[in-house]
Amino acid sequence: MTGLIRSWIGAANEADCPFPLNNLPYGVFSAGDEEPRCGVAIGDRVLDLAALQSAGLVPDHGFASPALNPFMGAGPQAWAQVRRTLTDLLRVGHETDAVRAALHDRAAVTLHLPFHVAEYTDFYAGRHHAFNVGSMFRGPENALPPNWLHMPIGYNGRASSVVVSGTDIHRPLGQTKAPEAQMPGFGPCARLDIELELGAVVGMPSQMGRPVSVDEADAMIFGYVLLNDWSARDVQVWEYQPLGPFQAKAFATTISPWVVTGAALEPFRCASPPREKELLPYIRDTGPMLYDIDLSVSMAPQGCIPTVLSRTNAKALYYSAAQQLAHHASSGCAMRTGDLLGSGTISGPEEGTHGSLLEMTWGGRHPITLDCGRVRTFIEDGDTLALHGHATGDGYRIGFGPCSGTILPAMTFP
């Protein structure tokens, strides 16, 4: 494994910095009242790619636009070329006035949604999560649905619901029915939850009618974000049969502000777990396509310090993003630049490794006592939930930046 690539920006060389020169994640930022444009995180700075483009230091990939989509659609050769150029410009000993002039303090800029989300699909590719939730609802012997070990199952979500980290979320309203109740009711969700997921961001599109192989799918993926698929459990349990999640998942999905590229994660590839049933050829593993990324969830009631609720790892997934994408396109479904694929909740097998409150509290039966002394089963108004993630290299880490949101009280009808 390669070690830290040293930069002339000192903060980028610190071992716990999420954004060393090895990372170079892309995002969209604004400074003061200027227009949002594309940038790259390095150390404690953001490098303005629109300014570098104007200066002729990087090719024109639409970096002055408020979304990464033009660059994402330019394809793997363009991604590799820009990465090489940025690595050269920022490498120790290569300091220039032109690049120095394009740097902003990261703490002083506003981060926006990094790309226009074309469509959003959410999968269910974490085996331990599927088993835990299935056990709760159907018992351990029927926990996994019969299709689960044969394909990554998912549903089509709402691109309009995807927001960047730091966006406040109103508690959703919805229809619910207690098992013993005669009639359903309508009101604020009472069992509001998170789902700790990894989001894959599609760069290269595919043609309608044409399936893609797992290797092609892997090459189409531009990068990854942390993704919190906020979930209204009481709404979900009443509405989900027979067509799956609908309003329970349609109110908000939060993503981290930086897209970490496949190139940055390349040293952290790892193999999928042993296959209990042999996969059909079109989604069979062709090499290591999961990533070794440490993940955690924290919760902070208003005015309280955060408590880490759970720690897990992205290698606990059963299907890779490439397998999810290949399955998605296999019917002939056209995939578009800016498609976002949620992995499904990432949980490990043991207590302390769960990616949802539903599992941590086992359906609300075992409340959690936070470090500040407050007790929670599900999320209360004013609570801030945050996901964190990083891969650990030799003397450096590849971080994502936080994926965080605060819950506000439900809105009422006008």
Query: Which residues of the shown chain bind Mn ion in the complex (CB under 5 A)?
Result: 122, 195, 229
For Mn ion, the closer of residues 66 and 245 by Cβ is 245
CB of 354 to Mn ion, least distance (A): 14
CB of 274 to Mn ion, least distance (A): 24
The CA distance from 158 to 12, in Å, is 36
Q: Which of 61, 104, 116, 129 is catalytic?
A: 129
Residue with structure tokens 């531009």? 222
Active site residue 170: no
For Mn ion, the closer of residues 38 and 163 by Cβ is 163
For Mn ion, the closer of residues 218 and 229 by Cβ is 229
CB of 229 to Mn ion, least distance (A): 3
For Mn ion, the closer of residues 197 and 218 by Cβ is 197
DSSP label at residue 285: -
CB of 342 to Mn ion, least distance (A): 5
Contact 360, 368 (CB under 8 A): yes
Task: Name the strand (E) or helix (H) holding 228.
Answer: strand 221-228
Where are the alpha helices (H) located in 273-331, listed in sequence order? 321-329
For Mn ion, the closer of residues 53 and 132 by Cβ is 132
For Mn ion, the closer of residues 89 and 252 by Cβ is 252
Distance of CA 225 to the CA centre of its chain: 4
CB of 243 to Mn ion, least distance (A): 16
Which residue lies nearest Mn ion, judged by its C-beta?
229
The CA distance from 15 to 394, in Å, is 9
Strands (E), 229-305: 231-232, 253-255, 260-261, 269-270, 290-291, 294-300
> For residue 375, what are its two tokens?
């007790």
CB of 122 to Mn ion, least distance (A): 4
CB of 240 to Mn ion, least distance (A): 12
Residue with structure tokens 């024109």? 60
Neighbours of 104 (CB within 10 A): 18
For Mn ion, the closer of residues 206 and 310 by Cβ is 310
The CA distance from 26 to 201, in Å, is 12
Question: Mind telling me the catalytic residues?
Answer: 129
